[in-house]
Structure 1
Amino acid sequence: MKFDAMVLGAGIVGTSVALQLQRRGLGVALIDRKAPGNETSLGNAGLIQREGVYPYALPRDFASLAHYARNRATDVRYHPMAMPRLAPFLVKYWQHSRADRHTKIARAYSTLIEHCVSEHRELIEAAGAQALLRKNGWMKAFRTGKAFDAAVAEAARWREEYGIDFDVLEGDALHRTEPFLSPVLRAAVRYSSSDSVSDPAGLVGAYAKLLEKLGGKVLVGDASTLEKGWRVRTELGDVQADVAVIAMGPWSGDVTTKLGYRLPLEVKRGYHMHYASKAGATLNQPVLDAEIGYMITPMVRGIRLTTGVELGLRDSPKTPVQLEAIEPLAREVFPLGERLDSEPWLGRRPCTPDMMPVIGPAPHHRNLWFAFGHAHHGLTLGPITGRLIAEAITGTPPAVNLTPFRAERF
Structure 2
Amino acid sequence: MSEQRFDVVVLGAGIVGVSTALHLIARGRSVCLIDRGEPGLGTSYGNAGLIERASVIPYSFPQGLGNLLRYALNNRSDVRYDPFYVPRIAGWLYRFWRESNPDRLKVAIAAMLPLIEACVREHDYLIVEAGCRNLIRANGWIEVHRSTESFHAAVKRLPSLQQYRLSYDVLDSAALHAREPGLGEAAGAIHWLDPKTVINPGGLVKAYADLFVTKGGVFLYGDAGSTVQRDGNWQVTTDKGLVTAKDIVVALGPQAGIVFRKFGYGFPLAVKRGHHIHFTMKGGAQLGHSIVDDEAGYVLAPMVQGVRLTTGIEFASPDAPPNRIQIRRTEKIARKLLPQLGDQIETTPWLGLRPCLPDMRPIIGAAPNHKGLWFNFGHAHHGLTLGPASGRLLAEMMSGERPYIDPTPYSAHRFL
The TM-score range, normalised by the shorter chain, is: over 0.9
Are residue 224 (structure 1) and residue 229 (structure 2) matched? no
Task: Output one character per residue of 1:21-66: Cα deviation in whole Å (capped at 9) or x when no partner.
Answer: 1111111111001100101001100001111121101001111110
**Partners of 1:155 and 1:166 within 8 A in 2:** no
List aligned pairs for 1:112-127, cutoff 5 A.
Answer: 112-127=115-130
Aligned equivalents of 2:366, 2:226: Cα separation in 1: 20
1:127 deviates by 0.4
List aligned pairs for 1:106-255, cutoff 5 A.
Answer: 106-159=109-162, 161-183=163-185, 185-228=186-229, 229-255=233-259
Question: TM-score, normalization: structure 1?
Answer: 0.98
- Within the candidate set 310, 328, 333, 1:329 is matched to 333
Task: Output one character per residue of 1:225-261: Cα deviation in whole Å (capped at 9) or x when no partner.
Answer: 0001200011111111111000000000121001000
AA matched with 1:270: G
AA matched with 2:146: R
1:10 deviates by 0.5
1:313 deviates by 2.1
AA matched with 1:287: I
1:153 deviates by 2.4
Which residue pairs with 1:49 in the alignment? 52
**Partners of 1:50 and 1:116 within 8 A in 2:** yes
Task: Output one character per residue of 1:314-344: Cα deviation in whole Å (capped at 9) or x when no partner.
Answer: 2222233000121122122211112111310
SS in 1 for 2:69: helix
Which residue pairs with 1:406 in the alignment? 411
Aligned equivalents of 1:405, 1:211: Cα separation in 2: 25
SS in 1 for 2:7: strand
| Identity between Structure 1 and Structure 2 (%) | 47
1:186 deviates by 2.1
- Within the candidate set 253, 261, 264, 1:260 is matched to 264
Q: Which runs of 4+ in 1 moved over 6 A?
A: none
Which residue pairs with 1:33 in the alignment? 36
Aligned equivalents of 1:154, 1:358: Cα separation in 2: 30
Structure 1 residue ranges without an equivalent (≥5): none
- Within the candidate set 354, 360, 371, 1:355 is matched to 360
Figure out how many residues of one structure are paired with residues of the other and give that number.
Answer: 408
AA matched with 2:167: D
**Partners of 2:224 and 2:258 within 8 A in 1:** no
CA RMSD of aligned residues (A): 0.9
1:166 deviates by 1.5
Task: Output one character per residue of 1:102-132: Cα deviation in whole Å (capped at 9) or x when no partner.
Answer: 0121111101111000000111011001001
Question: TM-score, normalization: structure 2?
Answer: 0.97
Aligned equivalents of 2:219, 2:346: Cα separation in 1: 28
1:203 deviates by 0.3
Which residue pairs with 1:339 in the alignment? 344
**Partners of 1:270 and 1:307 within 8 A in 2:** yes
SS in 2 for 1:115: helix
AA matched with 1:136: N
Structure 2 residue ranges without an equivalent (≥5): none
**Partners of 1:357 and 1:405 within 8 A in 2:** yes
